[in-house]
Structure 1
Amino acid sequence: MLFDKIARPAMYRLAYHDPEVVHERTVRLLGRVAPALGPVSRVYRTDDPVTVLGLRFPNRVGLAAGMDKNGLALKAWPALGFGFVEVGTVTRHAQPGNPKPRLFSLPGSDGVINRMGFNNDGAEALARRLAAHGKPGVPLGISIGKSKVTPLDEAVEDYRFSLRALHPYADYFAINVSSPNTPGLRALQDKAALAELLAELGRTSAELGGSTPLLVKVAPDLTEEALAELVEVCLGHGVAGIIATNTTLSREGIAPADAHLAAEIGGLSGRPLAARSLEVVKFVHECTEGKLPIIGVGGILGPDDARRMLDAGASLVQLYTGFALHGPGLVRRVSRGIAGRPC
């Protein structure tokens, strides 16, 4: 595990000063070296094809939204073993996100706290990049969210704009109504608000051809009652699947060594989120009687975590924090560890 032994310690010595700098430099570097990564793909790639959402995935391990918001390194991710890539979250309007510092590594907990706030170049900029440079060669999901400057009562049109701008390029859309870092966003998970949003996005998708799956990304902090209502709305509006889960506002599971960071505002991801994400995946699977495909994400740091997600009802899994902390070797270990399991 060269990354864990050499690269990670060096990167995270810098990360204690500004982990966001490490993130940005890594993504930009991967974008530049992507054409030379062909030989690397033979090391990391796992062939375990499955069909989910009507799409053919070369394996079941994807890159979660947030790592490559602006699609700067799209051709690199498949070479590092990912079977699909989700970019974003992207918003209608370009925005800088929340004030820095806004990203905190919790090495003792295998976790991260972030309050990035959907910093991105905007939907039109991502569309131009995809038009100029093409897609990654594996299924591409695009996560769309509400711009911070857009009032909540105008959120529907914000999402519709991004859906229209990016429709030619997405293999699926993730409707992000669950980030804790945009004020008021999680109110869109409420039954009436979500029903309105999904109805309008469904109509817009139909106008554009209607074949691109729409998935809803849910928060881990919902009560079972609220989650059941959300699932009911999703089923009623023809949503193609659920992504479970986003980051959490809970601070359970933070190690004593990281306790000084627990008061930082933002969403917690990584190992402390694993148990709750698994609970949500299982609840959604049981609530829908297996009718909705689920992408399980949250605290996957090894093959056992991924196997538990699949056993709970997930069809696919995504990595973010584990990959950021442990590198591409984790992608290989997870994808090979779950290869051949029933979908």
Structure 2
Amino acid sequence: MKPVTLKQIAETLGISITTVSKALKDYPDVSKKTKALVLDLAETLNYRPNTFAVNLRTKESKTIGIIIPEIVHHFFSSVIKGIVGQAEKKGYLVIILQSNESQEMEKKQINLLLDKRVDGILISLANSTVDFSHINSVIERNIPLVMFDKIAKIVNCSKVIIDDRKAAYTATKHLIDTGCKRIAHFRGPLLPQNSIDRFLGYKKALEDHGINYDPSLVYICENLSYEEGQFFARKLISEHQDVDGLFTNPDLVAIGAISVFNELAIKVPDQISVVGFSNWFMSSAITPSLTTINQPGYKIGKTAFKQLFKELKSKKKEKYYPPKIIKLETELIKRNSTKDLPK
């Protein structure tokens, strides 16, 4: 069956195409009776607007793209919920793509979104991304782009982040305040800015509290996985029997480490205290429950879309909207994997 047109509705009701169009858009200069007739017939005939024609006229696709490193990830799934919830309210369709931490895949996905003529892009960079020409090409085309979580400081666009150094400092300081003196860090890969900043926050907290930084206590987790948490926990215990604190990035690594400590009958937190990062849903379900930094994924997603929407509106009005860096607050969630503070 051919799609129903405005002309068919107009001819059936004996009114103009303009009146039909205005009635469907709820214009005030069309009577309630005419609107009711138009809407009723449109529903009966299963009328759908020609979105391609609308897009050509308005120069909008009402579509945005999201590129994230992983979809099956508690933090990013929370971010997506925040974005999609806001996008739906504003009538936007969302295309979600996964880079699998690959710069090459990220480039292909940027090109795909440009081919789809999306109005704007939200992106959290892959760990392997070191060349930002594909990101800059989006900005050069005057397509609004907002980075979140894993960002590049040198790219001139809006960013929604947390203060990773401050959050890591808080996590490490909590371990120090509860009596830990030999604190290890299972960090993320060397490239992402958030991984660098969390490491620097850990290191600064040690220095500020008179604890010598020992590079042998820092282990690099390339995949930030449960299995890496297990592997490096065994390595840590074999190499440093005197360690009494551990700060990991993210929670999944901490949960893997705790499983090994439980297996080896190393009491958490009596013998070793553990702090994670992100506040995944699993953090409160394990034994002992995990003290962690709450990273507000849903709020990050919500804020990122709102920023993108402001830039989309500004572009429509042909006004310049300067890039903005938005930092959201984090907090330490105290649970049973760390000791209580001394009274």
State which structure, 1 or 2, has the greater radius of gyration over its C-alpha atoms: 2
The two structures have a TM-score, normalised by structure 1, of 0.26
